[in-house]
Structure 1
């Protein structure tokens, strides 16, 4: 009997990533055989050079620690012997394997030729819903013991545990799933595919039965889906209006908060047409309720007494993240106490869902592209788990990859009812779930796009609740923005007749249909002519005096009318060609629709791709026709050039898009409630109702349950930086000095907010190495990864400093000691020179409004209030906000902005010495009774 293979799970720590100049400082190895650890090896290595502060902070390996360790030359033969005749395993094998081989070569030891397995790729396939494939994150999420991340012995140990965990996952999968994965695995790194096939052979030998919760459809294992039917309680429950009734309902499972109870009653009365609390019967109601007071529970509870599947409550949130949080966190909590549980369904755009039939076709001829196949393999595993088919369950994916373009849903209209996957289709199941749900959850972008859809995807209802309503105007504007990229169109048309292009394949497939081929050729001629006309127009539109590199620009009707004959002819031809292309497209559509059920599935995909193309060109024709012919004051005509200066993005922004009475969806709901933590801007209650086109809508304010004067401080230095008088370089120098003085003595996480990415980068460059040398990390937007990644690292740190701009001003939930100090570098005004801001200001002027007082000040006040709101999310939180811009107290508009802070919160102006003393006193004294206030 052959011996079971030995797996050598290896991790190395190095002075850097370049094997030519960097050296190993630590190596760890765990040997596994028959699923058991049989040996371990770990040692520090003297690199013969200094370890940088950055690597020391990352690995916790110091220069003194490695000083007495052996050099790699001394241990290279031992390591080579240890690894001989094993299978090499590492997390990102390409780095460890190649670096070790480079070191063996340098030490004149024979290089490794042993097979290798990459646990990163294995994790990507067999743990498809993991939020991150970094070793530390996987260890944390899977509960694997990981004492010392970025130390070789600990990393090797946890990689070994991960390998065994994934092997167990493999062997629990259906045999058909593993067969399909093994067929796709030949492009995986090194011998990773071999490892999968080895486990498949073991499974074939044992032939495990199919789990009860799975079924096989046309060779693919799927999770069984069950549709729970909504059951109405026999006896109607009476809404608990009074405190005693609520406490009786809560039964100790929820706490009674008077502010939350008031919100509940306001929601109930609005949706049930009650006229108590001085509220008239009205369609729209705005309620400001502070974050941290439990506002989600505050609206879900009353909704449960009113919403039915026939009249569901539709809740729109600001983001996909908040959608999922509502379902996973808040809904189970409220359903514990409700006599009639809320049944919820999250709804997203159809491209968020997998089309099973199209996925099955993609498996028939998988492309020779590694990432595509990794997605296919991961999807096969995921299908044994998911009942929604929602791509967002596969974290960290960009849906613009060709795999998701090929396998994303096109809508139920294009489904073939004869296809074996039709009964199991995810979008059809979503619609069934919607019919049995009394709570439908969408995000603002989905809601706003209802105005662009031919057929609405949301039902009519009495109840619509818009949470985080302050985001709605901007999201409506973004969703209504229409654009055409001529660069993308040129590339798309060029690809149609390539060797594997759509038209090449269609012409081969339909050789016996000369009329169809002729129409395709005519359509291609129209598309080619469109590309030519687009380029002529872009070339003329981008002719700007005195610049070699044209910037994004706004085009006016006067500029367009002033062009000479050639570009005006090109414009007329462009619109004519779009009309002609649409006539040919109509004929092609009719032919395709009459054939589509006569062809094999793989051929049907080609025809569906043609229909997609026809629809896309038609939509682009409508947008460009609108761009060249519609000149209402609320429309802004953009041109964003590509680097080649012959292609650009034509873009239309509609400033009237947020005016709700003009939308298609507004009239479909009897009662709409707008909820948010910051709806009153300074003293102005009606800023948001006015922006949304419903200025008469009442606004109710529920006082926050926090003692802001006791829990917070807002401090300004008594001498500030002369912001407008300094060039960018000097301003960044002074700002860096101010920040360094403030944060150095405070050993706590600190968030620093900027209004300019350029300034953020300049200050980061001046400070990050200085702080790193002191063992303290500065995380910076645009430097250290995504917003979510930076926030995660920041929330886990003890004293990191996070530099953020834009999105970091709001939506950062860091309660308690994770955020006690916040520094605002500059008042958050948008730059009036930005083209879109300038265009909006012009639009407001034409309406007789002052852009500064009607737009700039309210927007800056909103951002300032949202930044301040990061500090206090519960009654126990405390925090300091330091504003380095003295315009807050020295200007008239600054004093208006100061109204953004809660009443009775004083603005303290302190010298540097007094500021440090106040910070120390406030942060060290959580039980402070504020006697000296």
Structure 2
């Protein structure tokens, strides 16, 4: 292949060339025949100031560009290098407009040749990469990246990335390349002729393609044949022999931790003696290996499988990618581990093939098709959690995932996962699938009696969501749009097309279905509009978001009567639609002589999904269970029908007692936050463990918090309970700014509400002195928690504002985090309908909802927030709590007593900062 690629990277004063932002550095690297053949780089004087955050990100100061040439002086050289070349950049839509603007200002012609975006190419070729940032891809592909955010270094790395991505492209099977070529005209990069060249090369040297199987026009990775034969059973491989040996592990850089060995012994004891156990494992203990090692020995010795359940995908991946390979080095026998999740986590190959043949209306769809084509040549599991796809593409997930109709397929990833689980010692799953298995009439997991529940403090919350209902107008509308009308491109039209092709007749049924679908859309529109009005009239909303708790049997008035009538009509229309759909289905079953694969029958699964939504809607508005809380959520400024209905059970202790702890021999629950003031009583009562007398042990962290951490409580901030929210936000912004200017490091600021977060972020931006550090605020900047965390890691002086999901799971060791600020104690908001209903239930039983419910929940959350601060034995940092109730309220001691032994300082903020500076 003889193409010439010019790889470009720019550093600029900002993001908008049309508003006067200019290039301050340009790097160019020329690639020909798979080799770098030329380079060019230069600083440019932008003739304007460089903002502080740009100087911080790029390490390019005003002095470095002061005597540099203007872009116009070097523009001819740039144009000359770009002749007869592909323009390549890591995000072409940023670099190319800047370059075009500068070329025009220099009076030179703009670039009109082909372009390649290495972000897009990486998304296709590496569909499972965690991140497509240049630094992260460089790390993944072992490319050295010395000076990130300097144009010459970034261009060099992008050029090496391009060569690696093209190599990966060449290794794909011919059939996949041909499918990609067919899709390539709809991509942003000009890949058509490139792919054509690779295909010609491949056809000229076409050899056997051993690692793939070919099925209906696509290539899949050939499953690796797992040898069922174990090593001969080693009778000496016992946990007691392992534990009696030296208390060290055969791992590089392993440091012995007494707490880890204590936990191993406890876990093994619980499994071997059929006891339930609660183990709080302090940060840095090495909790995963502390339960994996005894589980592996127990499963091997007793030939009884152990199930391990986690809450987050992050922990599941850590177990698979980091801990299981370590475990295999430690245990002296062959260990089989499998992952099993819900059916909808796995791709349906037949549904994907139908999807591939459909028109591609949007860019997201084209990119998703390309990613899936490549991924199928790499995956053995078909688990869609492996993929990194855009939020737009996620809308198509449900129509591509496996369902009950996939049993006949030759390639069924869910059945393969089930088979692997049957043959394993250890099965890893998640809390939601575990709950599904506990209530399912036919078991989903292979039989087991022993299990470990990690991140156990989430179990009740996951169960509340799992057993609750959630129906919103948007999801119903999306489903109805997906089904569409007879003359549109939805699943109804596709079914009609199939009937026409086969000469099957059911015109009257189709007309009836279309009319019923139109009625349903109209009635749902009316219903959600009415519900929004009903909620807003009854509940004043403070933050623009209204949450109105309702009980169907207690609601009344003309509006509620109208709600009930609409609900009744919707149920009637749905029953008729299901009846007509069954007629169509019976025609298919009777007439169909070919396999199901020959046509698109997604209409039937769409109607089934719609029926489930409507049943949930009916249940939410009509059923009467005092142990279930129901509420309506509406945005005050949202669309007239942008409304959602929710329900959750209030109490789940009996469910856990009867369905989990009574039927399983040993359940070990572990987490870093299970106790409140050295007591497990709260978690024991919430999970229904009181009658089981579980083994309870809190194993402290190996860190020396006295030397590594301080808690600081400023006395000169206003009291939150007697101050207007805007005034309090300004005081918080002022305090956070002072801390940031003093420490010049990185801080995480934890909020309990988006409203206060946004007000504080706005107040901080008003203050010019705060320009020295970068502010990243959840909900203000778009992106997931993981994405915002990665952005935060790029800067030396940065502040990250976060709510809910930042209180735990964020792991920023060493210099990546020096200060954590808790703005207010994490009590649930007063309008939280679930907490309100649970409180009433406690009160009705003669209890005190504050001390039995609100306070314990807040203390556990507080511990999680504190846990962000110290992640390794070398970390050092301070926790600032800006809520004075920590020391002024009688319950403040519960929060402080739940922390490890640590210095607590209370003083004015200025004096605290002097102490902090001396201490750090």
TM-score, length-normalised on structure 2? 0.90
1:364 aligns with 2:357: yes
How far apart, in 1, do the equivalents of 2:555 and 2:486 lie?
34
Q: Residues 708-723 of structure 1 correspond to what in structure 2 (within 5 A)?
A: 708-723=705-720
1:294 aligns with 2:294: no
1:451-487: per-residue Cα shift (whole Å, max 9, x none)? 5655432123111211111111111112222122334
How far apart, in 2, do the equivalents of 1:779 and 1:715 lie?
23
Q: CA deviation at 1:186?
A: 1.4
Q: Of residues 628, 632, 639 in structure 1, which corresponds to 2:621?
A: 628
**Match of residue 403 from structure 2:** 410
How far apart, in 2, do the equivalents of 1:315 and 1:326 lie?
10
Partners of 1:685 and 1:699 within 8 A in 2: no
Q: Of residues 752, 757, 760 in structure 1, which corresponds to 2:754?
A: 757
1:894-920: per-residue Cα shift (whole Å, max 9, x none)? 123222123x54533234454234323
1:693 aligns with 2:693: no
**Match of residue 854 from structure 2:** 856
Q: CA deviation at 1:440?
A: 0.6
Partners of 2:684 and 2:690 within 8 A in 1: yes
Q: Of residues 875, 879, 882 in structure 2, which corresponds to 1:881?
A: 879
**Match of residue 261 from structure 1:** 261
Gap change, CA 1:142 and 1:681, over 3 Å in 2: same
1:534 aligns with 2:524: yes
1:605-651: per-residue Cα shift (whole Å, max 9, x none)? x22x1221232133123313322332212212222347443463332
Partners of 2:11 and 2:24 within 8 A in 1: yes
Gap change, CA 1:720 and 1:772, over 3 Å in 2: closer
Gap change, CA 1:638 and 1:471, over 3 Å in 2: same
Gap change, CA 1:270 and 1:615, over 3 Å in 2: same
How far apart, in 2, do the equivalents of 1:786 and 1:776 lie?
21
1:446 aligns with 2:436: no
Q: Residues 558-597 of structure 1 correspond to what in structure 2 (within 5 A)?
A: 558-563=553-558, 566-594=562-590
1:702-738: per-residue Cα shift (whole Å, max 9, x none)? 3313443344322323444222222122212222222
Gap change, CA 1:576 and 1:561, over 3 Å in 2: farther
Gap change, CA 1:310 and 1:493, over 3 Å in 2: farther
**Match of residue 355 from structure 1:** 348
1:199-228: per-residue Cα shift (whole Å, max 9, x none)? 3223333x2424543333444332221233
Q: Residues 313-324 of structure 1 correspond to what in structure 2 (within 5 A)?
A: 313-324=306-317
**Match of residue 26 from structure 1:** 25
**Match of residue 907 from structure 1:** 904
**Match of residue 680 from structure 1:** 675
Partners of 1:832 and 1:838 within 8 A in 2: yes
Tell me which moved more, 640-649 or 891-900.
640-649
Q: CA deviation at 1:798?
A: 4.2
Gap change, CA 1:812 and 1:135, over 3 Å in 2: closer
Q: Residues 59-70 of structure 1 correspond to what in structure 2 (within 5 A)?
A: 59-70=58-69
Determine helix, strand or coil for the equivalent of 1:348.
Answer: coil
Q: Of residues 476, 479, 485 in structure 1, which corresponds to 2:466?
A: 479
**Match of residue 276 from structure 1:** none
Q: Of residues 800, 803, 812 in structure 1, which corresponds to 2:801?
A: 803
How far apart, in 1, do the equivalents of 2:704 and 2:15 lie?
51
How far apart, in 2, do the equivalents of 1:647 and 1:774 lie?
38
**Match of residue 277 from structure 1:** none
How far apart, in 2, do the equivalents of 1:849 and 1:652 lie?
24
Gap change, CA 1:248 and 1:478, over 3 Å in 2: closer
Q: Which runs of 5+ in 1 are unaligned?
A: 274-280, 924-933
Determine helix, strand or coil for the equivalent of 2:665.
Answer: strand
Q: How many residues align?
A: 902
How far apart, in 1, do the equivalents of 2:614 and 2:898 lie?
46
1:601 aligns with 2:597: yes
1:467 aligns with 2:457: no
How far apart, in 1, do the equivalents of 2:907 and 2:48 lie?
47
Tell me which moved more, 905-914 or 428-437.
905-914
Gap change, CA 1:716 and 1:648, over 3 Å in 2: closer
Gap change, CA 1:171 and 1:285, over 3 Å in 2: same
How far apart, in 2, do the equivalents of 1:876 and 1:108 lie?
56
**Match of residue 665 from structure 2:** 670
Gap change, CA 1:668 and 1:522, over 3 Å in 2: farther
**Match of residue 654 from structure 1:** 649
How far apart, in 1, do the equivalents of 2:125 and 2:769 lie?
37
**Match of residue 505 from structure 1:** 494
1:142 aligns with 2:141: yes
Q: CA deviation at 1:319?
A: 0.7
Tell me which moved more, 392-401 or 543-552.
543-552
Gap change, CA 1:197 and 1:464, over 3 Å in 2: same
How far apart, in 1, do the equivalents of 2:768 and 2:244 lie?
56
Q: Which runs of 5+ in 2 are unaligned?
A: none
Determine helix, strand or coil for the equivalent of 1:461.
Answer: coil
